[in-house]
Amino acid sequence: MRIVAKGLTYTYNPKSPFPSQALKGVDLTIEEGEFFGIIGHTGSGKSTFVQHLNALIKVTGGELRIGGIGDAGYDLADKKCNFLELRSKVGMVFQYPEYQLFAETVEKDVAFGLKNFRRDIKDEKEIAAHVKEALETVGLNYAAVKDCSPFELSGGQKRRVAIAGVIVTKPEILILDEPAAGLDPLGKQELMELLHSIHGGWCKTIVIVSHDMDEIAENCTRAAVFSEGKVVMEGKPAEIFRRGEELLSLGLDVPTTARCAMLLKERGIRIDTDFTCDDFAEKVLALYAEGKAGKEGGDAQ
Amino acid sequence: MEAVRFDNVKFSYRDDGSGFAVNGVSLSIEEGQFVAILGRNGSGKSTLAKLINALIVPTSGTVSVFGMDTADDKKTFEIRKSAGMVFQNPDNQTVASIVEDDVAFGPENIGVPREEIGKRIDFALDAVGMQEFRHSTPAKLSGGQKQRIAIAGVLALMPKIMILDESTAMLDPKGRREVMAVIKKLNREQGITVILITHFMDEALQADRAIVMHRGEVVMDGAPEEIFSRSDELEMYNLTLPRAAYICKKLQAAGMPVANAFTAEELAEAICASLQKG
């Protein structure tokens, strides 16, 4: 299912004395199969946009379609759209999802989403099987954690349980708002590995909102930069981070590699990299080898 | 003057006293120091922080703040006044429905005179760049903005020690830079002792000293540059290098003669110097 937004607008408190326009005409297409990154500083409209994707915010201006054109798929601007079905296919993991855990046991917590969105599944054994699969997908041992209170678990485990509660319906599109925020560096890496492991199976498309530019550079197929309610840049991470000065002027960061490349460019050294650390190191080493070979060639003459 | 002192401190969250979250920590932090505390989730960093302002008291050993024993009930109030703490989640730290009231809550509680409170609100909101939101509702602010209000709330108490427990985790890059600038300014200009618990290695680089916790123990303690040069050890404690340091190490391993670098600026400098030398 592809996501197509055209001229999407949204205003908070429209009829109050303090209306605030969060989206000012967003045009964005996210193709099926992408690992898409959404960048933008606080208040840029990115969260408002992603909340539209599973109809937590209803479309009030512009178009938003998920899936095919015409009858196939979902027209989110249509009031008759099957929102229940849509929400089982477009999963949303909020920032710090562990704060939303509530049930007495891990098993009940994870089953909650399934019971809500897949009312056709009634058999307890079948539910348990789905819960088991979801917990194992996020790397937890079902037998060991199912009867625990979610609050007994560590922060990283809690987050995994919360994610299991969303992926238990096997959404085709999974949206995660700052999924790695607050985790330690290794925890971040493990979480990204988890997302890559489910991407491409039943979960066809992943959309992450992130402030961590290194994370975007290292994980995403494409990304969009939001600013003041609009998409101001869109493309592969390498294309976006090549425009480092613009990102900085928008109050955003650039990856470490891009910052370094910008500084080197000022001194006349061009490094054509995709901005991952490993690629950056390789390109620098290639330049070094070239220089050395050139110099040795010169010495020989 | 010694701001914080730990003498063989152990702490257990369990009633039976097993499984120490902090296990035999001894350390001393001088007044005016800027200390970063690193370590994986669950390594005991937050427990260490809570021990400093007497939110919890040691199971054994002693913690003292400016010479006051945190286990002494009569000193609790004084200790909390000198050691302010900012937590991870701003939503749990907001008490009032208007920003300025929220910032005023702390000073009002300790009986600061009315005019002085006004000045402190001004100072604190300016310091975190939230003056224009003075009359806003915290509930309508973004996560990053709320956290800046929480920091302002602590600043308004004029503490001598400021403990930040992953307080920048929810901020966007601009917000993080601003808060880090505020923290550094407070440390340098007002001499506030800063204890910063963080997962961001670039933030740790801005400190005078970095402490690495692992399974409740202090396993590394030194200047950030020195700690990040010991990459094999860091890996043992499941910590990663700042990205610039990682790239630098990779270049060195491949035989390129580059000087040690920890930030993008240093790395650019080192690469440039090395390429020009050829």
Judge whether residue A12 has pLDDT over 50.
yes
Distance in angstroms (rounded) separating the CA atoms of residues B210 and B192: 17
Contacts of A294 in chain B (CB under 8 A): 278
Average pLDDT over chain A reads 91
Chain B residues in contact with chain A using a Cβ-Cβ cutoff of 8 Å:
39-42, 88-89, 142-145, 166, 169-175, 199, 201, 238-240, 242-244, 246-247, 250-251, 254, 256, 264-265, 267-269, 271-272, 274-275, 278
Judge whether residue B173 has pLDDT over 80.
no
Give the residue from B184, B157, B156 showing the smallest Cα distance to B168.
B184
Residues A147, A268 share a domain: no
User: pTM here?
Assistant: 0.85
With beta carbons less than 8 A apart as the criterion, state whether A49 and A226 touch.
Answer: yes
Produce one character per residue of B178-194: b if its CB has 16 or more CB atoms within 10 Å, e if not.
bbbebbeebbeeeebbb
Q: How confident is the model at residue A183 (pLDDT cuts 50, 70, 90)?
A: confident
User: Across the interface, which of A41, A184, A277 has its CB nearest the CB of B246?
Assistant: A277
Q: Of A136-145, B58-67, B181-190, where does mean pLDDT reach its minimum?
A: B181-190
Q: Which two tokens stand for residue B178?
A: 């601003």
For residue A125, is it within any domain? Answer: yes
Residues A193, A268 share a domain: no
**In the prediction, which pLDDT does A299 show?**
53
Residues A290, A245 share a domain: no
Q: Which residue has the higher pLDDT, A41 or B17?
A: A41
**Which neighbouring-strand residues pair with A64?**
A5
Residues A183, A93 share a domain: yes
Give the residue from B52, B34, B42 showing the smallest Cα distance to B13.
B42
Residues A227, A123 share a domain: yes
Residues A230, A125 share a domain: yes
Residues A101, A35 share a domain: yes
Chain A residues in contact with chain B using a Cβ-Cβ cutoff of 8 Å:
41-43, 95-96, 99, 154-156, 178, 181-187, 189, 211, 213-214, 251-253, 255-257, 259-260, 263-264, 267, 269, 277-278, 280-281, 284-285, 287-288, 291-292, 294-295
Which residues are CB-neighbours of A131 under 8 A, at least 6 positions away? A107, A110, A111, A114, A142, A146, A164, A168
CATH number at residue A152: 3.40.50.300
Average pLDDT over chain B reads 91
For residue A276, give the H/E element and its range: none
Q: Of A115-124, B61-70, B203-212, where does mean pLDDT reach its minimum?
A: A115-124
Structure confidence by residue, pLDDT tens digits, A18-42: 899 999 999 999 999 999 999 988 7
User: What are the domain boundaries of chain B?
Assistant: 2-224
Structure confidence by residue, pLDDT tens digits, B91-147: 788 889 999 999 999 999 888 999 999 999 998 998 878 899 999 999 888 767 887
Contacts of B14 in chain A (CB under 8 A): none
**In the prediction, which pLDDT does A69 show?**
58
A185–B143: do the CB atoms touch at under 8 Å?
no
Structure confidence by residue, pLDDT tens digits, A132-156: 999 999 999 999 999 999 988 877 8
Judge whether residue A297 has pLDDT over 70.
no
With beta carbons less than 8 A apart as the criterion, state whether B266 and B244 touch.
Answer: yes
Q: A254, A272, A287 — which closes off a domain?
A: A254
Structure confidence by residue, pLDDT tens digits, B151-169: 899 989 989 999 999 888 8
Residues A262, A171 share a domain: no
For residue A261, is it within any domain? Answer: yes
What are the phi and psi torsion angles at B79 (to 5°)? -65, -45
**In the prediction, which pLDDT does A301 show?**
45
**ipTM, 2 dp:** 0.84
Q: How confident is the model at residue A70 (pLDDT cuts 50, 70, 90)?
A: low
Structural domain including A286 reads: 255-296
Q: What is the dotted CATH code of the domain comprising B2-224?
A: 3.40.50.300
For residue A31, is it within any domain? Answer: yes
Q: Cα B185 from chain centroid?
A: 14
Distance in angstroms (rounded) separating the CA atoms of residues A95 and A98: 9
For residue A301, is it within any domain? Answer: no
Q: How many domains are there within chain A?
A: 2
With beta carbons less than 8 A apart as the criterion, state whether A76 and A51 touch.
Answer: no
With beta carbons less than 8 A apart as the criterion, state whether A4 and A65 touch.
Answer: yes
**In the prediction, which pLDDT does A48 show?**
93
